[in-house]
Amino acid sequence: MATKQFRLPDVGEGLTEGEILQWLVAVGDTVTVNQPLCEVETAKAAVELPSPWAGTVTELLFEAGTMVEVGTPIITIHVGGDSAPPPASDAGQARADGEPAAGLIGGAAPGGRTAVLVGYGPRTTEAKRRPRRSGEAVAARATAPVLPEADHGPGTDRPPLLTTAPDATAKPVRHGGLEVGRQAEAHALVEAAAPSSAAPHGRGRLRPLAKPPVRKYAKDLGVDLTTITGSGEGGVITRADVDAAVAGTAFGTESSAAPAAFGTESAGRERRIPIKGVRKHTAAAMVASAFTAPHVTEFLTVDVTRTMKLRARLAARPELAGVKISPLLFVAKALLLAVRRHPMVNSSWDEAAQEIVVKDYVNLGIAAATPRGLVVPNIKDADRLSLAELAGALADLTATAREGRTAPADMAGGTITITNVGVFGVDTGTPILNPGESAILAFGAVREMPWVHKGTVVPRQVTQLALSFDHRIVDGELGSRFLADVGALLHDPGSALAF
């Protein structure tokens, strides 16, 4: 029989690892070419991985919720035929070590090819296999039960995925001097037990038995596994054993790094959230933007009563039945018209070429909050759309983002962005530029407020706009004129005829 192993492909530019959110097939299922096998979360979005072969699923190499490096086999499929399966030793080594066999990551691999999604090419870095254990090390461990290290256990070994709020995946940790003192002790134990660089692999203290997710969990908490006695089958250290070690350290009396009362009050009152996926990518992008482009933010308060009345009239028109006419739609249209008058706002800074790249098209980004974090998909060529077409594009974009189905290509190539903080009841803010763009507009809540209108203080519909821009490209005058034009269009939508 012939079996092939499907390796995790590079589904996004620069991706090094991904989390298997859920399997869409089970062992014994028959699959066809391009049938989705699993859903994987990358740094930008959740994507489905299609099968490159037709056949029967014989093995799922990782549980849902596991972080897997690019190039690592994740599923075995029996495709039939007369060719021999991969050598058992090689396949077993790949699974036991949790590392791909030698070869190019994302390129050709024994037993089949690796599919590449969304137009990205294969990685050119080489996969490295861990050194094999020497005969002495094997003999030393002959009496101990040996378990495959790549058996990542049930999905319950990892915290649940983000669902509604960041603290849904929180984990208790130690605090302050207790943690510092214990980590120092753990590091000393590790150094004493670790083999020297000149010694053969396997000498010194035996490696404790624990599954990779448990090892990572212990590492994040600063727990030395060599100090724990495993309660699992065959002496395997479980997640509960690590938690017990943490609790014992927090409430124990042997630590002198901090007063016992302090440890008692702090234990169990802090939580940690793994930084990964969309949140990790967003954090890196925002730091790069904040410390690369010199930000300037200007604010404008606008009477949008006429726009809100126009919204009500348009929503009642039969040709727009079923189309969501939201305040954001008018802000987007006003921004697009203002860009037409001030094209330099729709540009980017090319540091390598020392040039300003002015875009003659507008890919309008809309910041969207999702259960996995902030994403900024964009509407391609938004400046060419009619009001009704723009409304439909906005509805599709936000619905797809909230479902976590936004494709990486839909988040690339943006030229200018709107962030609608008004939906949260917020009046305004100082938004950070989306990397590669020169302007971002924050749209605040529309509120009924006292306003001087025709010499009389009357209640009017009022909102606040905040424009952040890259001062290397957009100076104060240009930014002010652009923001004033957006405000004028929202104050009097009829003035759009003059643009």
Is there a domain that residue 147 lies in? no
The Cα–Cα gap between 80 and 53 comes to 11
> Are 331 and 428 found together in one domain?
yes
Active centre residues (catalytic): 471
Residue 231 reports pLDDT greater than 90: no
> Are 125 and 259 found together in one domain?
no
> Are 188 and 122 found together in one domain?
no
What integer pLDDT is reported at residue 12 of this predicted model?
Answer: 63
| 125 in Cβ contact with 103 (< 8 Å) | no
> Are 230 and 196 found together in one domain?
yes
> Are 185 and 167 found together in one domain?
yes
SS3 100: coil
* Last residue of one domain, picked from the residues 272, 302, 318: 272
Total count of domains within the chain: 3
> Are 281 and 268 found together in one domain?
no
Is there a domain that residue 476 lies in? yes
Is there a domain that residue 308 lies in? yes
> Are 347 and 458 found together in one domain?
yes
> Are 387 and 418 found together in one domain?
yes
Is there a domain that residue 140 lies in? no
* Predicted confidence band of residue 239 (pLDDT cuts 50, 70, 90): confident
Q: Domain holding 114: CATH number?
A: 2.40.50.100
The b/e string for 142-170 (b: 16+ C-beta within 10 A; e otherwise) is eeeeebebbbbbebebbbebbeeeeeebe
The Cα–Cα gap between 352 and 350 comes to 6
The Cα–Cα gap between 131 and 283 comes to 35
Whole-model pTM: value is 0.54
> Are 293 and 426 found together in one domain?
yes
* Last residue of one domain, picked from the residues 130, 145, 179: 130
Residue 411 reports pLDDT greater than 70: yes
The b/e string for 342-369 (b: 16+ C-beta within 10 A; e otherwise) is bebbbbbbeeeeeeeeebeebbbbbbbe
| 97 in Cβ contact with 129 (< 8 Å) | yes
Dump pLDDT digits (tens) for 364-405: 999 988 777 788 999 999 999 999 999 999 999 988 888 878
> Are 261 and 281 found together in one domain?
no
Half-sphere exposure (Cβ direction) of 210: Cα atoms closer than 13 Å: 27
Closest Cα partner for 173 from 270, 239, 252? 270
Residue 249 domain boundaries? 155-272
What integer pLDDT is reported at residue 439 of this predicted model?
Answer: 96
> Are 322 and 419 found together in one domain?
yes
Question: Which residues fall within 8 angstroms of residue 100, CB to CB, at 6 or more apart?
Answer: 7, 69, 71, 72, 73, 94, 109, 127
Q: Domain holding 389: CATH number?
A: 3.30.559.10
Question: Mean pLDDT, to the nearest integer, of 477-490?
Answer: 97
Residue 17 reports pLDDT greater than 60: yes
* Last residue of one domain, picked from the residues 130, 145, 174: 130
Dump pLDDT digits (tens) for 102-136: 433 344 444 444 434 433 333 334 444 444 444 44
